[in-house]
Copies of this chain bind each other. A is one copy, B any other.
Amino acid sequence: MEQQKVTIKDVADLAGVSKSTVSRYLNNGYISAEKQAKVRKAIEQTGFQSNFFAKRLKTRESKLIGIVLPRMDSVTVGKLLSGITRVLEPEGYQSILLVSQLSSKKELESMQKLQQQGVDAILVDSVGLTAEHVRRAQEWGLPILYTGQKNAAVHCLKIDDAAAGHRMGAYLRQMGHKHAVFAGVTESDEAVGIERKEGFIAGFCEGRTDAKVDFVETGFDFLSAYNQAAEIHKLGSTVVVGATDNISLGILRYFHERGVRVPEDISVVGFGGYDVGAVVYPALTTVAFDYELMGMKAASYLLNILRGGEAEMTNLDMPLLFVERESVQNLMKKTLPINSTSLPAMM
């Protein structure tokens, strides 16, 4: 139980120099080659490790980035974290994680804790930006970046849900579909619940009046989607659009059980580009988001400010990737030439 016994003073004594000299050695200060060797040796012998807290108390830098996540056990969050870590780690920064449990209130509380804790910056994968979120971004003296939701008053990094929805809508329109059911989540999630849906409707109906989109609300998980599937099916559309791939997967399962063939009898599409979408049958046509890239961009942004750079986001548009697979039937007489498998979407 002898954790942090040896201090900079012990090293100094052993090396026969002053504490300041050791400190200089540690921080690239000027020091003669001779003493340098002595100090190095003393450090090795004692196994000295500088005290993190004492150091931070002086330097006012923690090398810690606070991250607030809505939940831990989700594929998207995992990818996001993966991206963040990838750029933060090489720079000597570490992340400290807090979970908001999809609550905007807990989100704020977590930010408070992190700030008090002295993190150098905060990244929040938000479920809803309030006035308080904005206030903090402005008043607190540290860089804050929000992802997942958008608000003009603060710095955000977000998938362009409207564009994603629009793209999918346009695709289905080109495939000759006229009646879709959008299986989506609550509108309290502005990004997924509203933007994505509205975008879809716009893209789907664009330039015609004979298109129709019905809406059925589900949760984010397989099961709640599965449970709504009967109602969705009753609507008699030619395609059902899951607001997330998980929703689509639940619906696919239902159709399978009922002997409804996809895409022969009905088409199904999703959003997200989860890996599993490729192994189910039929493989799911979807708009894929690169959450890992998003994590990397977010971390880079923060790092840039921390280095004294300006807070401007040069390119915070997240690219979309349309992934055409097997779950959509082409209703047009003559098959349109569609660029196959996956085409980068520039919006």
Residues on A close to B: CB < 8 A?
A: 1-4, 49-54, 56-57, 60, 62, 64, 71-75, 77-79, 81-82, 85, 89, 94-99, 113, 115-118, 140-142, 221-222, 226, 249-250, 252-253, 256-257, 275-276, 278-281, 292
Given contacts A4-B118, A94-B97, A98-B94, whether A57 and B53 have CB atoms under 8 Å apart is yes
* Contact B279–A252 (Cβ < 8 Å): yes
A293-B54 Cα distance, complex, nearest whole Å: 37
Nearest opposing residue in chain B for A278, CB measure: B222
In Å, the complex CA distance between A53 and B63 comes to 12
Contact residues in B for A98 (Cβ distance below 8 Å): 89, 94
Q: Once the chains bind, are A73 and B64 in contact (CB under 8 Å)?
A: no
Which residues of the other chain, B, contact A252 by a CB distance below 8 angstroms?
A: 279
Assess A82 versus B78: contact at CB under 8 Å? Given A1-B141, A96-B95, A96-B97: no
Q: Contacts A2-B141, A96-B64, A99-B89; is A75 near B72 (CB within 8 Å)?
A: no
Interchain CA distance A117-B256 in the complex, whole Å = 53
Given A53-B57, A279-B250, the answer on whether A96 and B94 have CB atoms closer than 8 Å is yes
Q: Which of B3, B85, B99 contacts A85 (CB 8 A)?
A: B99
Set B53, B77, B250: member contacting A78, Cβ < 8 A? B77
Per CB-CB distance, the 7 closest pairs between chain A and chain B, nearest first, are A73-B78, A3-B141, A1-B141, A72-B82, A253-B279, A72-B81, A53-B57
A89–B96 Cα distance when bound, in Å, is 12
Please list 11 pairs of residues, one from A and one from B, whose beta carbons are closer than 8 Å in the complex, sorted by A's number.
A2-B141, A51-B57, A71-B82, A72-B78, A72-B82, A95-B96, A95-B97, A96-B96, A221-B275, A249-B279, A253-B280
With A78-B74, A279-B249 already in contact, the answer to whether A85 and B97 are too (CB < 8 A) is yes
For A52, give its contact among B2, B97, B118 (CB under 8 Å): B118
| CB-defined contacts of A64 to chain B, threshold 8 Å | 96
Interface centre among A51, A72, A115, A141 (most CB of B within 10 A): A72
Cβ A279 vs Cβ B222 within 8 A: yes
**Cβ B256 vs Cβ A52 within 8 A:** no
